[in-house]
Amino acid sequence: MRIVWTKEEKRALRDCMIDICYVTPTMSNKGLLQHAQEEVIPYERRQKITDQKVFSHKIMINEARALAEKHRQTVSKPKPAPTPPPVVAPEPVKKLDTLGEVFELFIDALADRIMDKMIAAKQQAEQPKVEESQPILERGWLDAHLEKLTIRKQPAKKPPTVLIIGLNGCQMETIKTYKPDLDYTFATAEQAVSHYTFNKDHTILMTKFINHSVQAKYRKHPNLHYCNGGVSELKHMLQVIFHKEYA
């Protein structure tokens, strides 16, 4: 029976090839398509990768390589150096040519000094006088009480735990590096059914890569999310969970 990939499967293949090319840009087109198929396509939907099959999907492969190279150049591109502030030349010092100018400068400085003393004396006179009967706080008493006032630091909030069921290989590494602020647990559909139930803050089911027994086992979990797309939709869902937890 001839298998034809759907648009969603081709999109998942392209996203996975972008991640592979970003890490291993020298991989051949045939190896790239074969590796991506093993990561994102279920076993019963896989095709035999031949040279003719690679030629048929040449446009998708070239697009994945171009996007990976663009992302690599964006990350490695150095930031432009900041523009230094303009240099302002200092104002030239005015020379005093005559004795009259020297005397005038002396009078201005003396008037400023007298005015400062008058303002300080007025402020001191307006301050309320302290009654002699008021007790004086000794330094030792104040220090002893200040030592008791300790500021307790609030413990740092633990990152929310997220269980993702249905991912494979490079998809897991992509998600870990995309949003490292979350505590991930990954499980395949077989592990989710055969192992004990994982209890996490959030549970995400990749509906394209799991069966009904997995959904039946986790359908009553709090904060259960269904991801009907690929890695791109999963990234958006994790972004929403992150903002909800740290809002």
What is the tens place of the pLDDT at every residue in 124-139? Answer: 777 765 554 444 444 5
Q: What is the DSSP string of 169-189?
A: HHHHHHHHHH-TTSEEEEE-H
Q: What share of the chain is helix, strand, coil (3-state, %, to 5)?
A: 55, 10, 35
pLDDT digits (tens, 9 = 90+) for 23-78: 888 889 899 889 988 888 888 888 888 999 889 889 998 998 999 888 888 876 65
DSSP label of 80: P
Please, which residues have CB within 8 angstroms of residue 185's CB and are 6 or more apart in sequence?
A: 161, 162, 163, 164, 198, 200
The 10s digit of each residue's pLDDT in 16-38 is 988 888 888 888 989 988 998 88
Of 223, 226, 205, the closest CA to residue 214 belongs to 205
Write down the pTM of the prediction.
0.40
Dihedral sign for Cα 39, 43, 46, 50, please.
positive
pLDDT digits (tens, 9 = 90+) for 145-178: 555 555 455 566 788 898 888 887 778 888 888 7
Q: How far apart are the first and last CA of the chain?
A: 51
The dihedral of CA 58, 59, 64, 69: what is its sign? positive
